[in-house]
Copies of this chain bind each other. A is one copy, B any other.
């Protein structure tokens, strides 16, 4: 059977079921619900936790042709650092493997490298090792390393009923930019200027993650890389809770409605089922919510309440609108099916 018949989750299982995990792994593909989380975690001798994540991008398959080489480099770093942010880990360094096709321009490659370094610096990390290889497409596989401690690690595993569901910024901008680009929709400059930066040069919320983790108010966290719906289901399965999301609370910019309207798309679909917002999806302890939001805002972190944690019922994550509840589908952006 060809891979093209399978979705991303089934393909992941092919690997996961064959990998045996050692005792020093604190969170991994087959350990402590690691499969629902954004990075693996190794327990070091002194109780410190080493958080490790890897992510690959390919120029042909992952990057729109309008992205600058600097943006290609930045994206390769952001996709990895975002997974550290999801776990509340302080970045300590990165390594990269770069697959390089023979026909690429030196100037292009140099700008990719500059974008990588700039992005790493912005996140307080650096690239200290790597490898280059001859490949058919430009492929960048990064690995980001971070540190935290057992009592500071944040995962998707501990959301509790009554906790408040938040995100750290507006949703759907990247997807709206993507659909505009894909459909050759010419955007007015002011609209493009809002959507394209989040589409082409997204930012990992590492600063926000470290602040929130230190406040001790987070019961669960993940990054929104494959659509809000999919991310909610991951946290749901890890924490054995469900969610009610308030439609009117979803932070959606007018520019997203503009694109959705022009392309006759449901703006909610862009938020729920398409990815790459790279905002954090958090649950905050219910009894700490009021003080939490004050503290977070004071420290410059945007916390937008979008719902609440509810009783676990499998495949039952709801969107509430005008006292009616709709089921959010358990699907996300699947690169193998698109």
Contacts and interface: CB of A to CB of B under 8 A. Distances in A.
A139 B135 contact: yes
Interface residues of A, number: 82
14 contacts: A2-B102, A3-B102, A14-B110, A15-B113, A15-B130, A19-B116, A20-B121, A22-B93, A29-B128, A52-B93, A53-B95, A56-B135, A97-B143, A139-B141
A102 to B, nearest CB: 4
Contact of A29 (B92, B97, B104, B127): B127
Contacts of A34: 128-129
Interface in A108-127: 109-110, 113-114, 116-117, 120-121, 125-127
A293 interface: no
Nearest to A127: B19
A336 interface: yes
Contact of A42 (B31, B53, B101, B128): B128
Mostly, the A contact residues are mixed
A301 B163 CA distance: 58
Interface stretch (A58-66, A228-236, A262-270, A312-320): A58-66
A3 B110 contact: no
A42 B125 CA distance: 12
A104 B135 contact: no
B42 A133 contact: no
Given A129-B28, A132-B11, A56 B97 contact: yes
Nearest to A23: B126
Given A29-B127, A58-B133, 7 more contacts: A3-B105, A14-B110, A19-B127, A34-B128, A54-B97, A56-B139, A61-B133
Given A29-B129, A40-B128, A135 B58 contact: yes
A291 interface: no
A223 to B, nearest CB: 13
Nearest to A104: B3
A4 B128 contact: no
